[in-house]
Structure formats: C-alpha cells, structure tokens
Structure 1
Amino acid sequence: MKIFIAGLATETNTFSPMPTGRIGFEEGLIAHGDATQSAPNGFGAPMHVWRERAEARGWDVVESLAAFAQPAGPTVKSVYEGFVEEILTDLKASLPVDIILLTMHGAMVAEHIDDCEGDLMRRCRDIVGSDAKIGLEIDPHCHLTSLMLEAADVIVAYKEYPHIDISDRAHDLFALIADAAEGKINPVMRAYDCRMIEMFFTPGEPMRSLVDKMMDAEGKNGVLSLSFAHGFPWGDTADTTSKMLAITDGDPTLADRVAREFGEELWDLRHQIKNSFPTIDEALDRVSTLREGKPVVLGDFADNAGGGAPGDSTFVLKAVLERKLKDVALGMFWDPIVIRQCQEAGEGAVLRLRIGGKMGTASGDPVDLTVKVHAIKSGLSQKFGDLDMPMGTAAILEADGVYLLVNDHRSQLFDPQAFEQLGLDLSKMKIIVVKSSNHFYDRFAPIACEVIHMKTPGAITPDFTTIPYTKRDSNYWPKVENPFDQSGKKAG
C-alpha cells in the first residue's frame, strides 16, 4: 500500500477585515513534505499519526505540503492555488497511490472558492480516479458540503469542543480508510441538515451525553462512524449550518436513518443547548458576588482570534478600568506595535502606551495607559491539549493592578501557561479575562471558581440571529423558530 498525506487548513471568517495570505501561513506552518519531522503543530498532528500507523504496517508514505494559518478573512486566490498546485504536483509524481489522507479545517474559504475542502478533494479525485480511497479529517466548525461528501470516501470530524481529540480522531480515520482500502468495509456517508446555527459546548450537558451516545454507537450494528458538524457561523456560505454525518458499512438507508435520528435528537434539545451569555457588565456584577478564593475566568467570546477576530478589542478592558478593579489579568492582546515599544524600552520600564483598538470598529477604541513592563520574552508557546502553539514575543504589562498579556503572534488564549511563563501568578488574580470562545475551558476551568462566557461586542458575535449573511438563507434556528415547516417537519 502507498499512502499520500497532506494538510491545508484555515478557518475563514468571511466578515473579518484581515485577508489570509502567505504571511499568515508562514506564522502558522508551512512544511514542504517534512512536517512530521518536527513536533506536531495544530492541524499537522494528524499527519504524525498517519505516518506512524502506516509505517507500522510497512506501507510507503508520501508526505506533501502541510500549511496552516490562524483564522482570518478569505484566503488570497494566488496563495490558495499555489498550495493546491504543490499538493497536486506531488500527488501526480507519487502515482499510483492507494490512499489519500488530508487534514483540513472544513470552513476554509478563498477569494474565489467557498468550499476549499471539496475543491481540493475533487481535484485529487480527478487525478487518482475511483479506486483510491480519500479520507478527510476536519474541525467540527465546518461547512459539510455535498462536494465534500461526493469526493471523499470517509470524513471524520473532531467530536470535542474544545478540540482535545484531534489525534484520537486521526486514529479513527486511519483505521476506517485502511479497512476500506483493504476491502474489509464499504463506507457509505449520509448527512442530515439540522438547520441550526449555535455554539455547541461538549463538556457540559446536554451535549456531553449526546457525544458519548454517538461514540457508543460507533462500531455496532453496521455503524462505522458518527460526526457532528457544528458549522462555523461566521462563514457566509450557502452551506453554513450544522449537520449530522453517519457512515455505515455499505448501507445508505441505515446511514440516512441514523444521521436523521441523531440530528432530530439534537433538534429536540435545542432550547437546552441554546446559549444565553451575560453582557460584560452583567458578568462583572456577578463576579462581585463570588467569594470562592479562586479567580473567576471570563471568556471574551467575540474577540477570539480562533474565530477570525483580530484579538485586540478593548471593550472588557475599558469596563474593568471604569470600575477601578484590581488583580485582573486580561489576554492575549494582539498588538505588535506595543510589543515593539516594550522591546525597545526593556523590562522594568514605565511607558505610556496605546493598547488595542487598532483593527477596526469591531475592536473598539484604543486605550491609553501608563504601564510597567513586568516581563517580555520571545519564542514563546502555549499548550493546546498536547500541542505546542506559538505565541511569538509576549509581554506582561501592569496598570495599577490590571495585568495585560500582549503579544505579536495572533492567537487565542488556550492555557494559563501563557501568563505564567512570564511570571504572573494567576492564583493571586480575582479575575482572568481570556480572549477565546471555548478552547480555553479545558485548561482554565480547573483553576477557576467559575467560568463565565460573556456576550461581548466584537468580530464574532454570539447573536446568531443578526449575522448579515448574503449567501446563507434565513431559514435556520434560532432566526426561524421552526425551519422545517416548509418540508412538513413538525417542531420537536
């Protein structure tokens, strides 16, 4: 057997003011056939799993491009086409191949293509024909399109949000695609459109039980795999929605039924799942009532760089300063200009700096503060699960008991390590404000007396009824109470 592996991924916020170009990928990862020779990096982690599993079987492995960028706006056409051409050229040079495995996001949009995943797989399929098996691992915040389902033999999405199971799902995909290539199974995929746009946090109920039920059903009664595609609300495409995906062994009727059953169960839980986040002021009011001895962790939902936001909004910072709160840590602010100023001045310096608010109206206004540079270091990273995620150069700045984590490599905040490696003791904080939607939860919840996701202003609003779609129609819940009415489906 010969297996061809590659990766091309970014999550596209089509409303973001920041184009995704070559520099964005260079800051993330670009590896020309040697990504598995370095430590796993985000979307590159599945390629490590696939190489290890294939080589353990004595199979030949051909590794092509691995290119990954932080979420932002649509990928520049020339950048996308250049990456795709490299992958396709490597594939043609490797023929014949038995298996193609791709790690992508599922919500990548280029200037000229809304479905980059489907496009790349279709172009791979045109080269290898129908005999080779194509497998795709994707983020659940994806647009699961008909082209993706037609071009692939097996698609597996991460099941957890936060995404702590990337490598686990890579093992699942390899096992399925290997069995398919060896003729042991005949995977058939069917998807059910849940017609919902929401954020589905899997650590808590009712999502926890639903995900566990999905995992328990796999490998039984002809069901090979189940994935829930949450959808990515801030990608304006015709396919922006949540879908349940079922893969069965040669039985399309069963796949249809199982996908529908799980999808309808999710629909019936919609009012329990629907998130109702407090505003900034409501969250800070609640903090004042808590006396647990541990810090309260507040999620700045709408300024999550992992959803394509700039990561430099000042709305929460302003509220903290107006209330004259102390022992508050906030981060990460993406502000390369401030980092440059701190590098010039050095640790211990006291400076008048203009913080954040640089990327547009969704970032709010800049805040002028006199700060002390407590620490500044370069070449930093933070943990996301078992993966090291780059932070670049970062600094801890203090303004009268308010501590800001600022850096020059745009990323959401995943781990307390981001603060602590710069010498800030989070146990002494009363409030920790994290610029992230939910990936912070896995590492911050254990150190918090309570975690509160806030309905903050910014580039990725959690109000899904007001997103200004132009390609996605308005027939989805919660914008419409029952989007199934037109087809005769009654509300659960």
Structure 2
Amino acid sequence: MRIFTAGISTETNTFAPWPTGLRGFEEGGLFRGNASRAGEGENNLVARLYKELACADGHDFVEGVFTTAQPSGPTLQSVWEGLRDEIVDSVRAGGSFDVILLLLHGAMVATGCDDCEADLVARLRKVCGPDTVIGVELDPHCHLSQALVDASDVVILMKEYPHIDCIERARELYALCTGKALGQIDPVSALFDCRMIGFYPTTSEPMAGLLRQLREAEHQPGVLSVSFVHGFPWGDTADTGSKMLVVADGDKARARRVAEELGRLIYAQREVLLPRMPGIEDALDMAAATAGRVVLADTADNAGGGAPSDNVSLLRAMLAHGVRDAALGAIWDPMSAQACAEAGVGARFALRLGGKCGEASGSPLDVMATVRAVREQHDQHGLGSARQPMGLSVWLECDGIDVVVNSIRTQVFAPDAFTGLGIELNDKRLIVVKSSHHFHALFAPIADRIISVATPGAIQMNFAGIDYRKRHDLNFFPREHDPLA
C-alpha cells in the first residue's frame, strides 16, 4: 500500500486579540517532508511513528507538511490556504494513495473559514476519490463537525487531559485505517451532541472514572473506537461544544446507540463536572495554610488556550502578601526578556513587567528585578517526550520570588521550565504555573497540593457567560439546566 501523512495544528481562541500568522507556525515547527527526520515535537514523533509502522509493514511512505502554532486568534486566511494547498498539492502530485493519515487539532479557525479541518479533508477527498482511506487524529479540545466525520473514514481523539496519549492514539488510527484499506474492518461513525460546554481534566474524578467506562466500551463486540469531544469553549463556531464519537464495525445503529449511552453518562455528571476554583486571595490563603509544597495554576492566562500569558495579577498579589520561597512562570514579555538579557546576569534595575497585549493582560507591574540567568534558546519538556521551545528566557528575582520571563509564548508543562534556567525548586514552598491543566502530568509528582486558581485573563470558566455569536443554538449546559430534557 501507499501511505501519506501530514498535519496542521493550532487551537484558535476566537476572542484573542491578535491573529495567527505564518511566523507562529514557523516558531512551532514547519516541516516540509522531513518531520520524521528532525525534531522531537509532537508532529515529529507522530510522523516518525507512521514511517516506522509503514516501513515495518512493507508499505510505501510519503510525508508532506507538518506544522503547529501556539494557540492564538484566527489564522490569517492566506496562511491557512497556503498550508492547506501544500498538503492537497502533495497528494495530487504524489499519485494514488491507499491511506492518508492526518494529525490535526480540530479547533483551528481561519479568518475566512470556521472549520479548517473539514475544509482540508473535503479537498483531499475530492482529489483522491472515495477509495482512499482518510484517517484523522484530533485533540479532544476540538469542534467536531458532522462535515469532518462525513468526509473522513475514521476520526479519533486523544482521550487524556493532559494529552499524554498522542502516540498511542496515532498507533490506533494507523491500525484502523490500514485495516479498512485491507478490507478487514468497515468503520462507521456516529456523533452524539451532549449539549454541554465545559472543562474536563481526566486526572481526577468523576472524569477519571468516566474515561475508564469509555475504554471499557471499546471492548464491546463491534465497537472499534470511542472518543469524548471535550470541545474548546473559547472558540466561537457553530459546532462548539461537547460530543461523543463512536466508531463501530459496519453497524451504524450500534455506533449511534453506544454514542448516546456514553454521552448521557457524562451528561448525568454535568453539575459535578463544572469547574469551581478559588480566587487569588483565597488560593494564597489556602497555600499558606498547607504544609509542604503547593503548585498554583494561573488558569485564565494560559497561552495553551490562546491567552497572552502576560497577566501579572497573581504575581502582584504574591508580592503584596510578602510571599517568599516561591517561583512563577512563564510570563510572556519579549521586550522585558530582551532588556534583561542586554543588562546581563547580576544587573538590578526597575522593570515594567507584563500587561502589554490588551484588556485580558491587565495592568503592568513595576518591580525591582535582579537578573539571575539568561538562556538564548530555553526549552522545556512538553507532552510525551516532545520538547517545547520557550525562546530567549530569563530568570529574574523580584523581592524573593523567582520569575521566568520568556519570548516564545507557551504554557508551562514541566519543572525544567524553571530548573533549565537554574531555579532550584526543592526549596520552594510555592510554585505558580501559567497553565490550565497540562502541567499536572509532571508537576503532580513534586507537589503536596495543587490548587487551580480563578485568575483574571482570557480563558474564563464561566461558560454560560461566554459571548457566542456564531454558535446560534444557546440551549446548552450550563446556560440551560437540562438541555437534553
């Protein structure tokens, strides 16, 4: 068989104050046919896996464009069309393919297209015809449209949040798509709308238990795959919301029945699943009363959801409380990072930090900062074994608090976001990370307590109050108490 693979990924916060341009994809990694041979990012690892699997099975393997951009506002239409057409043209020029495997996000919006993933797959289908098997792996924080399901042969989502199972799901997609191409299975899909908008970490109950039930359902006769669409609340599209996707072997009625059964299981827990977080003052009091090391999550200023990551409200409160033995990161402030790098290690001076990008950034903070370390190309451990670039980064000491300031916008995934600059965490009582939940995977082992904080910023958890304009159907929980009644 002949197998083609490619991928374009970004998570679009349609309320973010600036668009995503080509530079965003170049910063995240833009590979043209060589992703499997270069880099350790998620795209590289998936491309490498597909190459290894295809070669081991004796198949012809061709890879096209792989690229990703940090979450931000809508992608410029010209950028989207350029990347999309590169993939489509590669398939057209490459001759016939038996299988196409795509690593996409599912919540990518361009300035002229609200469903980029369906747009890409529909164009590929037109080029390759009905006999080519097209498989798509998505992030669970996606807007899964019926159009994408209909244009694809198989769609599956990562199950975990934090998304630690990307490679596992890619292996699953490969098996399902090659099985379809060989005539061993006949995947058919059904999508159930849970009529919910929410936030569903899988590291704690009740989602941990619900996820176990989804996995158990995959062992039912005739069920090939089960995926829960968490949805991305901060992307305003017609398909925004939580859904259940089931792939069955040739039995559409079974797929529909299982999708509804599992969707209603999650719907029954909707009140419990609503996030309830303390504000900054309460969170700092809770941390002060806790023996041991506490990790606070600055959830609303998370670059991983499209926020600027330069809101310094939590740092301001920590300084006002006289907090010591603490570390905070990462504040996206390229201007400050450059000024500190030029000043050099040991320099101490007045610095205006953060608050630069717009209303969600809040006001800047004036501090006396001492430059403790500078790293031109800092990075951190990302999801899986991938590395996440942070760019020019500095370690500042501000009245007893160690602060990481970086120039490539990203959420904090791992302790080496701090330790890679020389910040010792063993002696810290308080560690603050700008992230909503991905940090759990690597910070939980060093934390005695984790507190998610309702901070000011661009990613608010008041889902009933989000000002949707394109999602015209507002009959969803929590805006309505029982929308499935």
TM range (shorter): over 0.9
In structure 2, relative to structure 1, the CA distance for the partners of 1:228 and 1:44 (3 Å cut) is farther
What SS does the aligned partner of 2:483 have? coil
Match of 1:231 in 2: 231
Following the alignment from structure 1 to structure 2, what is the Cα–Cα distance between the partners of residues 410 and 442?
20
The answer to whether the aligner puts 1:22 opposite 2:30 as a matched pair is no
Following the alignment from structure 2 to structure 1, what is the Cα–Cα distance between the partners of residues 14 and 406?
24
The CA deviation at 1:39 is 2.8
Could you tell which deviates more after superposition, 321-330 or 152-161? 321-330
Match of 1:196 in 2: 196
Match of 1:74 in 2: 74
Match of 1:463 in 2: 462
Following the alignment from structure 1 to structure 2, what is the Cα–Cα distance between the partners of residues 417 and 343?
20
Following the alignment from structure 1 to structure 2, what is the Cα–Cα distance between the partners of residues 307 and 79?
20
Following the alignment from structure 1 to structure 2, what is the Cα–Cα distance between the partners of residues 363 and 180?
48
Describe how 1:32-43 pairs up with structure 2 within 5 A: 32-43=32-43
Identity of aligned residues (%): 48
- Among 372, 375, 388, the alignment partner of 1:374 is 372
Following the alignment from structure 2 to structure 1, what is the Cα–Cα distance between the partners of residues 260 and 38?
41
The answer to whether the aligner puts 1:410 opposite 2:404 as a matched pair is no
Task: Give the counterpart letter for 2:131 in structure 1.
Answer: D
Task: Give the counterpart letter for 1:34 in structure 2.
Answer: N
Following the alignment from structure 1 to structure 2, what is the Cα–Cα distance between the partners of residues 101 and 219?
24
Task: Give the counterpart letter for 1:91 in structure 2.
Answer: V
Following the alignment from structure 1 to structure 2, what is the Cα–Cα distance between the partners of residues 393 and 478?
41
Q: Deviations over 1:15-47 (max 9, x none)?
A: 001210011111001111111111331344322
Following the alignment from structure 1 to structure 2, what is the Cα–Cα distance between the partners of residues 46 and 113?
26
Q: Deviations over 1:302-360 (max 9, x none)?
A: 01100000110011011111112112211100111011111111111112111000001
Following the alignment from structure 1 to structure 2, what is the Cα–Cα distance between the partners of residues 416 and 288?
21
What SS does the aligned partner of 1:379 have? strand
The CA deviation at 1:276 is 0.5
Following the alignment from structure 2 to structure 1, what is the Cα–Cα distance between the partners of residues 128 and 443?
45
- Among 347, 350, 365, the alignment partner of 2:345 is 347
- Among 310, 335, 338, the alignment partner of 2:336 is 338
Describe how 1:270-281 pairs up with structure 2 within 5 A: 270-281=270-281
Runs of 4+ aligned residues of structure 1 deviating over 6 Å after TM superposition are none
What SS does the aligned partner of 2:23 have? helix
Could you tell which deviates more after superposition, 141-150 or 373-382? 373-382
Quote the RMSD (CA, aligned, Å): 0.9
Match of 2:434 in 1: 435
Task: Give the counterpart letter for 2:377 in structure 1.
Answer: G
TM-score, normalisation: structure 1: 0.97
Given that 1:192 and 1:263 are in contact with CA atoms closer than 8 Å, whether structure 2 keeps it comes out as yes
Match of 1:183 in 2: 183
Match of 1:144 in 2: 144
Match of 2:5 in 1: 5
Match of 1:397 in 2: 396
Unaligned runs of 5+ in 2: none
Could you tell which deviates more after superposition, 466-475 or 193-202? 466-475
Instruction: Count the aligned residue pairs.
Output: 483
Could you tell which deviates more after superposition, 227-236 or 387-396? 387-396
Following the alignment from structure 1 to structure 2, what is the Cα–Cα distance between the partners of residues 236 and 216?
33
The CA deviation at 1:463 is 1.2
Task: Give the counterpart letter for 1:395 in structure 2.
Answer: V
The CA deviation at 1:219 is 4.3
Given that 1:234 and 1:460 are in contact with CA atoms closer than 8 Å, whether structure 2 keeps it comes out as yes
Following the alignment from structure 1 to structure 2, what is the Cα–Cα distance between the partners of residues 270 and 232?
16
- Among 292, 306, 309, the alignment partner of 2:307 is 309
The CA deviation at 1:220 is 3.2
Following the alignment from structure 1 to structure 2, what is the Cα–Cα distance between the partners of residues 405 and 383?
15
Following the alignment from structure 1 to structure 2, what is the Cα–Cα distance between the partners of residues 209 and 371?
46
Task: Give the counterpart letter for 2:315 in structure 1.
Answer: L
Could you tell which deviates more after superposition, 378-387 or 167-176? 378-387
Following the alignment from structure 2 to structure 1, what is the Cα–Cα distance between the partners of residues 378 and 61?
32
Describe how 1:19-168 pairs up with structure 2 within 5 A: 19-168=19-168
Following the alignment from structure 2 to structure 1, what is the Cα–Cα distance between the partners of residues 342 and 436?
33
Following the alignment from structure 2 to structure 1, what is the Cα–Cα distance between the partners of residues 342 and 377?
17
Task: Give the counterpart letter for 1:25 in structure 2.
Answer: F
Following the alignment from structure 2 to structure 1, what is the Cα–Cα distance between the partners of residues 166 and 349?
42
Task: Give the counterpart letter for 1:378 in structure 2.
Answer: E
Given that 1:40 and 1:48 are in contact with CA atoms closer than 8 Å, whether structure 2 keeps it comes out as no
The CA deviation at 1:395 is 0.9
Following the alignment from structure 1 to structure 2, what is the Cα–Cα distance between the partners of residues 399 and 75?
36
Task: Give the counterpart letter for 1:209 in structure 2.
Answer: G
What SS does the aligned partner of 1:318 have? helix
Q: Deviations over 1:381-427 (max 9, x none)?
A: 11122111111121110011011100101000000011011111112
The CA deviation at 1:297 is 0.4
What SS does the aligned partner of 1:427 have? coil
What SS does the aligned partner of 1:375 have? strand
Unaligned runs of 5+ in 1: none
Match of 1:173 in 2: 173
